[in-house]
Structure 1
Amino acid sequence: MTLSWIDGVPADALSLKDRGLAYGDGLFETILVKAGAPLLFERHLQRLTLGGRRLALALDLSLIDSECRAFAAQMGEGVMKLIVTRGDGLRGYAPVTGAQARRMLQASPAPVYPCENAKQGIRLFPCRTRLAEQPLLAGLKHLNRLEQVIARGEWHDGEHAEGLMRDTTGRLVEAVYSNLFLITGDVLLTADLTRCGVAGVMRAEILVLAEQMDLPVRALDLYMSDLRRADEVFVCNSVYGIWPVCAFEQLNWPVGPVTRKLQNLVRGLLDI
């Protein structure tokens, strides 16, 4: 049986009344575990805390912290998925007053990606699925991931490792399960995520690393014209680190020096 806990005890069954199942009423974090320790865990907890405030979820963060660390110690290596929902509810959208949040933990083996993804770079697929704007949910790792599910179903070949997603106005936002960065001249560009998109944990780490490198950073609205002008492009997340992007449709980029430097720094954070 796959290692899994619900509310701190081993379990692999969920109530049909759970609002996460019925409405996507909750949050999740995908956390890399090495040597029994959850990596970048403080950043994951920070994002979870923000999500809890936005969704008015009563989260016992001390309990979540201790459970996650105990679970990670038991699993040893792999990927730990933390899901927090509003718990059981009645039929209808109105949340039950005083409902206790439910905590779920599941262990999975670490994914095995081709080493070429990190070394030589990847090709991005042009996703047709667009991201809807919802500022209240922007940045959060909430459970409503249907846009990403549909987008990931758009390609089935081995040529593309990720897909580029835009919002309904055509702005570049992110990849399907990664954040997007462009390097133009000596400036690091990333999408403004105040309307939609996920504020990734690795994205936050890279912004700090860029500041330490005295690399100017701008978070702004990005368009296809910015992609065409970029000198380097890369995507990132908290499991694989950084993948250089070498191609998108007819566009091509080298794996540049800034991407390589950030990639080497990130490897140290993830012990990869």
Structure 2
Amino acid sequence: MWINGEAATTLPAADRSVQFGDGCFTTARVLRGEIQFLPEHLARMQRAASVLHIDGVDWAAFEREMVLAAGQQEEAVVKAVVTRGQGGRGYSSAGCSAPTRIVSVSAYPAHYHALRQGGVKLALSPVTLSKNPLLAGIKHLNRLEQVMIRLHLDQTDADEALVVDTSGCLVECCSANLFWRKGNQVFTPDLSQSGVDGVMRRHIIRLIENTSRWTLHIVSEPAEALSDANEVLICNALMPVLPVAKASGWHYPSRDLYDFLLQNC
């Protein structure tokens, strides 16, 4: 792990990420020493920092540190975090002028390889996501909703959670975005009120919009919208895309869209 470019494993207790979850992060896949979709990961971090009004990040140094962390890895995960740093009194950020950069590397989740073969099982989570259009889409450090979702998921035999918001509309999974197909119509949840707009989600949307084979719709629909889907899949920057075999008792034998995306993700 590197903190502001120096090898370290501890962070000051006064850092605002510890005190308030004041920051943002991204998680990237490494293949043969290279970070996949690195420009997109940096762009999402810059957007999140802008939304949070975290100024003064040395983005060039941040990129160098991410690349250095990935350099000797065949297949791994690089996690990059920006916090507002230290300073301020209470919630006030006045006086915070030196953001903290954190870069770490870890093993690639081996179970993703197995799930590509057998497919993912989704369980509807009892934990709903709150709506907040200001923070919707960005991957900020306040992840308590996901912690609670994962807590309940670990009590089931499912691989991932199917998550709705407080209005009962589909948003995402615990750690992945969601797509489903009905005929040649492809759907993904509207993330303008809650959820994380992932790097791979954006890539898949571009792929579908650039082909005449399917038509994409961004929708606000309940979980029952999956009941008559031909195909469901989930994605994130690490998976990068996985087929869903079962969700809340509904089964999906088709992999037409998945096979297309697998060749381009």
TM-score range, shorter chain: over 0.9
CA distance in structure 2 between the aligned counterparts of 1:38 and 1:155, rounded to whole angstroms: 29
Query: Quick check: 1:201 aligned with 2:188?
Result: no
Equivalent positions of 1:173-184 (< 5 A) are 173-184=171-182
Q: 1:40 is matched with which residue?
A: 37
CA distance in structure 2 between the aligned counterparts of 1:151 and 1:130, rounded to whole angstroms: 8
Provide closer, same or farther for how the CA distance between residues 36 and 115 of structure 1 changes in structure 2, counting only shifts above 3 A: closer
The letter for the 2-side match of 1:196 is S
The letter for the 2-side match of 1:101 is P
Q: 1:15 is matched with which residue?
A: 12
Structure 1 residue 71: Cα displacement: 2.3
* Residue 52 (structure 2) aligned to one of 32, 45, 55: 55
Q: 1:224 is matched with which residue?
A: 223
CA distance in structure 1 between the aligned counterparts of 2:223 and 2:142, rounded to whole angstroms: 26
Provide closer, same or farther for how the CA distance between residues 6 and 115 of structure 1 changes in structure 2, counting only shifts above 3 A: closer
For residues 39-86 of structure 1, the C-alpha deviation after alignment (integer angstroms, 9 at most, x for no partner) is 111111111111011000112222212221122225554111101000
Structure 1 residue 216: Cα displacement: 1.2
Gaps of 5+ in 2: none
Q: CA RMSD in A?
A: 1.6
For residues 139-197 of structure 1, the C-alpha deviation after alignment (integer angstroms, 9 at most, x for no partner) is 00100111011111113367311001100000000000000001112111101100000
CA distance in structure 2 between the aligned counterparts of 1:114 and 1:69, rounded to whole angstroms: 23
CA distance in structure 2 between the aligned counterparts of 1:108 and 1:146, rounded to whole angstroms: 22
Provide closer, same or farther for how the CA distance between residues 240 and 212 of structure 1 changes in structure 2, counting only shifts above 3 A: same
* Native 8 Å contact 2:88 2:95 kept in 1: no
* Residue 134 (structure 1) aligned to one of 132, 135, 141: 132
Instruction: Name the SS of the counterpart of 1:129 in structure 2.
Output: coil
Instruction: Name the SS of the counterpart of 2:264 in structure 1.
Output: helix
Gaps of 5+ in 1: 267-272
CA distance in structure 2 between the aligned counterparts of 1:114 and 1:23, rounded to whole angstroms: 32
Q: 2:118 is matched with which residue?
A: 120
Q: 2:25 is matched with which residue?
A: 28
Q: 2:233 is matched with which residue?
A: 234
Instruction: Name the SS of the counterpart of 2:126 in structure 1.
Output: strand
Q: 1:82 is matched with which residue?
A: 80
CA distance in structure 2 between the aligned counterparts of 1:126 and 1:77, rounded to whole angstroms: 31
Q: 1:270 is matched with which residue?
A: none
Provide closer, same or farther for how the CA distance between residues 114 and 64 of structure 1 changes in structure 2, counting only shifts above 3 A: closer
* Native 8 Å contact 1:83 1:104 kept in 2: yes
Q: 1:152 is matched with which residue?
A: 150
* Native 8 Å contact 1:192 1:219 kept in 2: yes
Structure 1 residue 90: Cα displacement: 4.1
Identity percentage over the alignment? 33
CA distance in structure 2 between the aligned counterparts of 1:256 and 1:78, rounded to whole angstroms: 27
Q: 1:269 is matched with which residue?
A: none
Deviates more, 1:55-64 or 1:111-120: 111-120
Instruction: Name the SS of the counterpart of 2:95 in structure 1.
Output: coil
Equivalent positions of 1:249-260 (< 5 A) are 249-260=248-259
Provide closer, same or farther for how the CA distance between residues 81 and 117 of structure 1 changes in structure 2, counting only shifts above 3 A: same
* Residue 172 (structure 1) aligned to one of 170, 173, 180: 170
